[in-house]
């Protein structure tokens, strides 16, 4: 999934000559604290609602205020993961998509569009169990882990790696599998000395944990 496929056509753009009142009305209507500003078709940056309330003496038009994220944008062909990283690193609610000449192509809503895209990519809406493994970064081999999983007639629907906040030398590997019963897969992985730190499967989720998991999956699928 690439940036141009994530563009939200409903989010409007502003011009430097537009008024502050217009910007605030649109921010409220589209529930966004940031909106892109264009000069003709050229992306100039984002206007933030806090710019109008920071106590400085501004004028009635967008051009009277400083913009942010002037050099922060993505190209149409950039991958979904690049979009997430850039948006996260810069604390953006929206991120502009521009071409090589900075011509504006659209904007991505981080809160809505990216969350929906993540739900699709991570197979959230597909039935199956979840395993979380803790392992040394040097020992990570998805090919080997996949081989062990598939030896039990299971398949990995998606996987992602996160750092371990408690140990900088370790990583956490989250696996979404295509079946709820993970008993044999767990036994196989543990036989090969893989450490499983969390599991969510139909056979052993107690009601409280299952409710929490259902709430998480429901939130991600919004």
**Per-residue pLDDT at 214 exceeds 70:** no
pLDDT in tens, 54-109: 655 678 999 999 999 999 999 999 988 788 889 888 989 999 999 999 999 999 98
Long-range interactions of 144-148: CB distance < 8 A, separation 24+ = 145/173, 145/175, 145/189, 145/194, 148/185, 148/188, 148/189, 148/192, 148/194
- Rounded CA-CA distance 68/90 in Å is 10
Highest mean pLDDT among 12-21, 74-83, 207-216: 12-21
Residue 141 has pLDDT above 70, yes or no: yes
pLDDT at position 162 is 83
Q: What's the pLDDT score for residue 106?
A: 95
Residue-wise pLDDT tens digits, 153-208: 999 988 888 888 778 889 999 898 998 899 999 999 999 999 999 888 754 444 44
| pLDDT tens-place string over residues 41-52 | 999 999 999 888
CA distance 198 to 133: 7
What is the CATH code for 3-119?
3.10.580.10
**Most confident option among 111-120, 124-133, 200-209:** 124-133
Parse the chain into domains and list their residue ranges.
Answer: 3-119, 125-212
pTM of the model: 0.60
User: Who wins on pLDDT, 58 or 119?
Assistant: 58
Q: Is the pLDDT of residue 215 over 60?
A: no
CATH architecture of 125-212: 2-Layer Sandwich (3.30)
């Amino acid at each position: 999934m690439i940036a141009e496929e994530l563009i939200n056509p409903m989010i409007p753009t502003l011009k430097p000559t537009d008024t502050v009142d217009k910007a605030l009305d649109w921010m409220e209507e589209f529930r966004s604290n940031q909106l892109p500003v264009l000069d003709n078709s050229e992306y100039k940056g984002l206007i933030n609602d806090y710019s109008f309330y920071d106590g400085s003496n501004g004028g009635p038009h967008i051009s009277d205020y400083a913009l942010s994220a002037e050099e922060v944008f993505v190209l149409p062909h950039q991958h979904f993961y690049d979009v997430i990283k850039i948006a996260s690193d810069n604390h953006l609610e929206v991120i502009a998509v521009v071409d090589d000449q900075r011509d504006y192509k659209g904007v991505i809503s981080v809160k809505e569009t990216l969350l929906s895209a993540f739900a699709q990519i991570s197979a959230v809406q597909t039935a199956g169990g979840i395993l979380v493994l803790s392992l040394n970064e040097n020992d990570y081999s998805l090919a080997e882990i996949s081989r062990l999983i598939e030896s039990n007639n299971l398949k990995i629907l998606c996987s992602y790696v996160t750092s371990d906040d408690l140990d900088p030398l370790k990583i956490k590997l989250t696996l979404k599998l295509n079946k709820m019963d993970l008993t044999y897969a767990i036994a196989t992985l543990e036989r090969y000395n893989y450490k499983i730190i969390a599991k969510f499967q139909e056979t052993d989720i107690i009601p409280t944990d299952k409710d929490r998991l259902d709430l998480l999956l429901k939130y991600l699928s919004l």
